[in-house]
């Protein structure tokens, strides 16, 4: 289909569902308002549906790429009204399969052998079909039961054409929608294009799956299927076929005698373990990607599949997020406001008192409800929405985290309506903060950083000499201020020397930490007061600019 024909179809769908009603015509300049009035959309009556339902139906009719976009858009609750976000969340990624001959041809071309040589058996009828790929069951010659995921033919060109059209519509929305700048439609479409193009690379998904499996190895919380790398490439992913009950089949889980309270609490624990211990979290944990192993109903295990979308936080974001969440738990809105400014999530010009007041106005009504009825995920949404009024630029990793928490919490409440997420989350966060700054953790970080410091140590003297030479050249060029320059030069040399001494001491400590692997057990025996005094002494001798 040519781009002109595709655009014509998009305009027809927009007209059929009267999506032009989303635009406030009174806010448009005269020429666009006049042009909009000439289009034949008014020939269609406005469907007897909510605006969210009309948008969802339109995206479903436009096909896989738009469906996937609607799913992603539903996670941006910081940008959308609640009714539209809830409706878009209903989008189902159910797409007719492509012909089995094409699927076999793609596998044979990608792996370089006939399907009969690659597999002992191969089911040509797909077991599932989605917007980006479809899945077939197969058996390896060694006997393992596997699933083979095959990328749709020519899907990349379709994605690029459709996202180009989306980008055009986003630019128009940014220019003419009353809240166009706040919605950041161009940014949203650009992020979506990167995400969906990444999903086309099966080796990326395979690598994510392997990492997630390694993170939870020998852990009862989550099981991740094994990847078979000899049968995996950019267009094909082969992995272990799992057997479990869909997490949404609560009736079957209950009939099996599954401990649903434990299962729901483990879902929350999986989330916090991934975010705060691994900093590597499955960001697409909707119910279709989660199954349950009830071999032992009293000790159930989650099974996670489809690791195409993975989120990760930097050390700084991880720290600030944990502190923010604890601040919310304790209703310490001043600390939450200060942390937002400190970490750069909001403008440094933000008045802490104003942000604190806004946070209190949002959170206090929520905390008046029974604790089991408070949505932690929704609270995070409100936090980001409030921060957006103070020009907070939401980072993609935080959006993925927000989406994942909403999915996990919704799933937990579906399994066990009385789930008290706070009882699970608060102790976990408090333990994480305590462990992060324990002597053992600090020594472990020293061990990790020491090789880099030792490598850079010889460069410190060179940098000091270079700064000295620059200062001398500068003082020669400005003889009037020679005395002042010499004073600054002398002060700079003192600072540099003392700083080198401190860095040298740290490197020596790190070297000892590396040389004695069991030093952590000795460190654990040192009283906390000694660590406090050592930190105070280091602060006293560390040079300060005056």
Residues 268, 406: Cα–Cα separation, whole Å = 11
Residues 415, 264: Cα–Cα separation, whole Å = 6
Q: What does the CA dihedral 387, 392, 397, 399 come to, rounded to 10 degrees? A: 50
CA 65-66-72 angle, to 5 degrees, is: 95
Residues 75, 399: Cα–Cα separation, whole Å = 7
* Full DSSP string of 209-270: HHHHHHHTTT-SSEE-PPB-GGG--SSEEEEEPP--EETT-HHHHHHTT--HHHHHHHHHHH
CB within 8 A of 137, min separation 6: which ones? 122, 123, 127, 145, 146, 147, 148, 241
Residue 280 three-state SS: coil
| Residue 212 · residue 307 · CB < 8 Å | yes
Q: Are strands 290-293 and 281-282 parallel, antiparallel or unpaired?
A: unpaired
**3-state DSSP: the chain helix, strand, coil percent, rounded to 5?**
65, 5, 30
The two three-digit tokens of residue 351, written as one number = 């008045």
Residue 284 appears among annotated catalytic residues: yes
Integer-rounded Cα radius of gyration of the chain: 29
Residues 427, 421: Cα–Cα separation, whole Å = 11
- Beta carbons within 10 angstroms of residue 60's beta carbon: 17
Residue 350 three-state SS: coil
The two three-digit tokens of residue 243, written as one number = 């057997």
- Sign of the dihedral defined by the CA atoms of residues 296, 298, 301, 302, in that order: positive
Q: What are residue 66's phi and psi, to 5 degrees?
A: -70, -35
The two three-digit tokens of residue 355, written as one number = 């942000």
| Residue 327 · residue 339 · CB < 8 Å | yes
| Residue 235 · residue 148 · CB < 8 Å | no
Buried b (16+ CB within 10 A) or exposed e, 176-205: bbeebeebbbbebbeebbebbeebbbbebb
Residues 284, 349: Cα–Cα separation, whole Å = 35
CA 55-25-79 angle, to 5 degrees, is: 45
Beta-bridge mates of residue 291? 246, 303
Residue listed under structure tokens 């980001």:
384
Q: What are residue 334's phi and psi, to 5 degrees?
A: -65, -45
Q: Which of 284, 315, 354, 423 is catalytic?
A: 284
Which are the catalytic amino acids?
Answer: 284
């Amino acid at each position: 289909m040519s781009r002109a024909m595709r655009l014509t179809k998009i305009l027809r769908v927009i007209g059929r569902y009267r999506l032009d009603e989303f635009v406030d015509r009174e806010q448009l300049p005269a020429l666009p308002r006049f042009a909009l009035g000439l289009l034949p959309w008014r020939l269609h009556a406005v469907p007897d549906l909510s605006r969210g339902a009309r948008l969802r139906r339109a995206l479903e009719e436009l096909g896989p790429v738009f469906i996937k976009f609607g799913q992603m858009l539903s996670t941006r609750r910081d940008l959308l009204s609640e009714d539209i976000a809830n409706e878009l969340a209903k989008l189902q990624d159910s797409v007719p399969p492509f012909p089995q001959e094409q699927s076999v041809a793609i596998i044979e071309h990608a792996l370089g052998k006939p399907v009969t040589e690659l597999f002992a058996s191969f089911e040509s009828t797909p077991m599932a079909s989605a917007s980006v790929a479809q899945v077939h069951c197969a058996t390896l010659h060694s006997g393992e039961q596997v699933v083979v995921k095959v990328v749709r033919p020519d899907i990349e060109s379709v994605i690029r054409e459709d996202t180009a059209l989306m980008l055009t519509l986003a630019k128009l929305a940014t220019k003419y929608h009353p809240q166009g700048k706040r919605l950041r439609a161009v940014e949203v479409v650009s992020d979506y294009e990167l995400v969906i193009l990444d999903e086309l690379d099966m080796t990326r998904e395979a690598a994510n799956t392997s990492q997630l499996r390694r993170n939870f190895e020998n852990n009862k919380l989550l099981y991740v299927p094994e990847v078979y790398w000899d049968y995996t490439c950019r267009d094909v992913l082969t992995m272990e076929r799992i057997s479990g009950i869909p997490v949404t089949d609560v009736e079957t889980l209950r009939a099996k005698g599954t401990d649903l309270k434990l299962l729901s609490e483990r879902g929350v624990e999986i989330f916090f373990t991934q975010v705060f211990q691994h900093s590597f979290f499955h960001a697409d944990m909707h119910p279709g990607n989660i199954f349950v192993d009830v071999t032992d109903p009293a000790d159930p295990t989650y099974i996670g599949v489809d690791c195409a979308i993975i989120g990760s936080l930097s050390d700084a974001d991880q720290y600030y997020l944990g502190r923010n969440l604890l601040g919310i738990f304790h209703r310490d809105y001043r600390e939450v406001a200060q942390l937002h400014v400190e970490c750069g999530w909001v403008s440094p010009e933000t008045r802490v008192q104003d942000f604190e007041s806004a946070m209190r106005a949002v959170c206090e009504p929520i905390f008046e409800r029974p604790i089991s009825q408070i949505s932690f995920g929704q609270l995070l949404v409100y936090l980001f929405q409030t921060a957006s009024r103070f020009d907070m630029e939401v980072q993609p990793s935080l959006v993925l985290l927000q989406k994942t928490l909403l999915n996990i919490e919704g799933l937990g409440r579906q399994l066990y309506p009385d789930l008290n997420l706070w009882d699970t989350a608060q102790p976990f966060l408090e333990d994480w903060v305590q462990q992060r700054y324990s002597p053992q953790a600090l020594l472990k970080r020293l061990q990790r950083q020491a090789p880099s410091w030792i490598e850079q140590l010889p460069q410190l003297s060179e940098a000091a000499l270079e700064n000295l030479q620059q200062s001398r050249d500068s003082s020669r060029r400005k003889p009037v201020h020679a005395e002042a320059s010499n004073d600054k030069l002398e002060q700079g040399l003192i600072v540099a020397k003392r700083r080198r001494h401190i860095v040298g001491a740290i490197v020596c400590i790190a070297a000892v930490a590396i040389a004695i692997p069991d030093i952590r057990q000795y460190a654990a025996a040192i009283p906390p007061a000694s660590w406090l005094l050592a930190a105070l002494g280091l602060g006293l001798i560390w040079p300060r600019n005056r």
